[in-house]
Amino acid sequence: MAIQVLIPTPLQKFTADQSSVELEATSVDGLLEALEGRFPGILARLTDESGKLRRFLNVYVNSEDIRFLDNQATALADGDEVSIVPAVAGG
Amino acid sequence: MIAVSTSRFQYPTPQVGFNGSFYPALLACTNSCCRALTATLSRSTFTGLRCKECGHPYEASARHVCEDVCFGPLEVVYDYDAIRNRVSRASIEAGPTSIWRYREFLPIEGDPIDVGTGFTPLLKANRLARRLGLRNLYIKNDGVNMPTLSFKDRVVSVALTRARELGFTTVSCASTGNLANSTAAIAAHAGMECCVFIPSDLEMGKVLGTLIYNPTLMAVKGNYDQVNRLCSEVANTYGWGFVNINLRPYYSEGSKTLGYEVIEQLGWQLPDHIVAPLASGSLFTKIRKGFEEFIKVGLVDEKPVRFSGAQAEGCSPIAQAFAEGRDFITPVKPNTIAKSIAIGNPADGPYAIDLANRTKGTIAAVSDQEIIDGIKLLAETEGVFTETAGGTTIAVLKKLVEQGKIDPGETTVAYITGNGLKTTEAVASSVGEPHTIEPQLASFNAAWERAQSLHRASWEPIGA
Ligand SMILES: Cc1ncc(COP(=O)(O)O)c(C=O)c1O
Ligand SMILES: [Zn+2]
């Protein structure tokens, strides 16, 4: 279950400046755990104390916002691309 | 002041000594390093950035999220004592007739890029007011803003000034249309490289109104939220200044001037109620910040102002959350003629909801037909031709009056943020047609007869 994860600039200090990493996971929640396993400390940036993704972060699976899917329970399949994108202003 | 003598305008010299002791020593020196130093020390009133959520401080560089703690948005922090010491009503009134009369409240260090942005008309809208049943209605007309006829010229003037100070040579943005127009135009004026991104389904006027400045224009096959996500990824790898991404804290400050101008144009008073369109929600919250800052530095007396927001039903994530009493946004996929405000995942949505709630305002949505009717109503009663965002604002204004949510005597300001000539497609099929005639009196006479009877059929008296 190889998942490609796009890391935003502000988090690249955790990933040794890599803008994209490959991990194994079957759900978004699982992916968050896998990220923490590989890059200790990153989870606390991504989620609050209760494990919920921070409200100014958007997460997309193959370009679809996970809030249109199953949020953090969204299933992942081999070859999926997940991007983590901080909110930006408009338009 | 020597430091600003190359700009078009002479700024009033600060009256009291914030860094005042530097002036005598530096006045004599004209070499460029000292000019920059003078500009920095004497002019800037901002001290850095701060997370709006957790308060964590950051330096005033090109960054927009709280990367050390919580990913909240960053905001510019000012030294309000310094500002209070430097500005007065008189000093502002003596400044340029552009947003730069308020430069002490804006996050720049040196000379601004001044293309005449801002200080647009505030119209007393008596005929529209009478039609709606109001007595004190004003239209803030940013549809005639310079250089590209929308409020975005305010945010871009600030963002590109700051971009240049931070050393960027290429600027960019993700845009629903107006922001691209503005970024391309002001970049052209400033001699900066420009690459902008829009959804591929925008109106002709918005596309042409970008291309004419000859930037690189990327039309992305997707909606604005997809354009934005792509740009965030581009921003990760290209060292560009994205006005709405890494320059967002500076960009968004530009909208405060819509608050300052209304105060000044009302004779240094706050209105009772404002109605403004919401896309990302940034403009709405920054009008409020503008009001609060003028209160804070003593330029205007405090009073409660209600904030009401307008969205199109086909893209109303903020109005929906407001109606359901939620403080979080569920994103939507836009489907409306109001493309300029079609943002399905609005970053400042939670703040907009909070503001409407705290001020006893409301956030409402209207249909595409109501938006078209709103555009026509404003044009027919006030001679102001706005785009779909303005039609949304007028339609919501009308709806709120009908629902009793605006008191007829309240001083109400409706913010018209864009120009109708950019979105002619939206109204093309609802404005009728010219009477095509022969160059002969008889032909005219016959056509005039027909026109009169058509007119009588549709005519509805407006007031007495
Ligand atoms: C004409 C017009 N009005 C209003 C807005 C809303 O701006 P904001 O994203 O700050 O809410 C936009 C921006 O997209 C716009 O183009
Ligand atoms: Zn924070």
**Domains contained in chain A, CATH given:** 2-86 (3.10.20.30)
| pLDDT for position B282 | 97
Same domain, B128 and B224: no
Best mutation site among B340, B353, B421 for ligand 1, i.e. most ligand atoms within 8 A of its Cβ?
B340
The whole-angstrom distance between B282's CA and the closest CA on chain A is 7
d(CA B241, CA B64): 11
At which of B251, B275, B304 does a domain end? B251
Same domain, B261 and B137: yes
Considering the domain boundaries, does residue B110 fall inside one? no
Q: Which atom of ligand 1 is nearest to the CA of B178?
A: 16
Taking the Cβ of residue B61 and every Cβ of chain A, the question of whether any pair is shorter than 8 Å is answered with no
Same domain, B417 and B320: yes
Same domain, B167 and B191: yes
- Coil/strand/helix, residue B31: coil
Q: Do B244 and A88 touch (CB under 8 A)?
A: yes
Considering the domain boundaries, does residue B309 fall inside one? yes
> Looking at chain B, which residue has its C-alpha nearest residue A60?
B229
Considering the domain boundaries, does residue B14 fall inside one? no
Considering the domain boundaries, does residue B405 fall inside one? yes
- Coil/strand/helix, residue B454: helix
Considering the domain boundaries, does residue B457 fall inside one? no
d(CA A79, CA A69): 17
Same domain, B135 and B278: yes
For A81, B123, B276, B341, the CA distances from A89, given in Å and listed in that order, are 24, 29, 16, 12
Considering the domain boundaries, does residue B5 fall inside one? no
Same domain, B288 and B314: yes
State phi, psi for B218 to the nearest 5 degrees.
Answer: -100, 115
Other Cβ atoms less than 10 A from the Cβ of B308: the count is 27
Same domain, B54 and B87: yes
Looking at ligand 1, which residue's alpha carbon is closest to its atom 14? A91
Same domain, B376 and B262: yes
Considering the domain boundaries, does residue B335 fall inside one? yes
Residue B81 CA to ligand 2 center (angstroms) comes to 25
| pLDDT for position B237 | 86
d(CA B382, CA B25): 54
Pairs of CB atoms within 8 A across A/B = 103
Q: How many residues does chain A have?
A: 91
Of the candidates B253, B315, B314, B317, the residue with the CA atom closest to the CA atom of residue B282: B253
Considering the domain boundaries, does residue B406 fall inside one? yes
Gyration radius from chain B CA atoms: 23
| pLDDT for position B42 | 54
Residue in A9, A56, A89 nearest the CB of B71: A56
Task: State whether the beta carbon of B145 lies less than 6 angstroms from ligand 1.
Answer: no
One-letter amino acid at B79 equals D
The whole-angstrom distance between B305's CA and the closest CA on chain A is 24
Q: What percent of chain A has pLDDT over 70?
A: 96
Average confidence (pLDDT) per 10 residues, chain A, 91 residues? 89 92 96 97 93 92 93 96 86 65
Same domain, B202 and B262: no
| pLDDT for position A10 | 85
For A15, A82, A84, B16, B211, the CA distances from A20, given in Å and listed in that order, are 9, 10, 10, 53, 33
Task: State whether the beta carbon of B412 lies less than 6 angstroms from ligand 1.
Answer: no
Residues 6+ positions from B186 with CB-CB distance below 8 Å: B113, B115, B147, B153, B156, B157, B160
d(CA B174, CA A90): 8
CATH number of the domain that residue B304 is part of:
3.40.50.1100
Enumerate residue ranges in chain B where pLDDT < 70. 1-42, 459-464
d(CA B462, CA B20): 58
Could you tell me if B239 and B55 are in contact, meaning their C-beta atoms sit under 8 angstroms apart? no
Task: State whether the beta carbon of B181 lies less than 6 angstroms from ligand 1.
Answer: no
Show the domain range for B100. Answer: 23-105
Could you tell me if B318 and B353 are in contact, meaning their C-beta atoms sit under 8 angstroms apart? yes
Chain A residues with a Cβ under 8 Å from any Cβ in chain B: 6, 8-12, 19, 45, 48, 54-58, 60, 63, 65, 67-68, 83, 85-91
At which of B209, B234, B251 does a domain end? B251
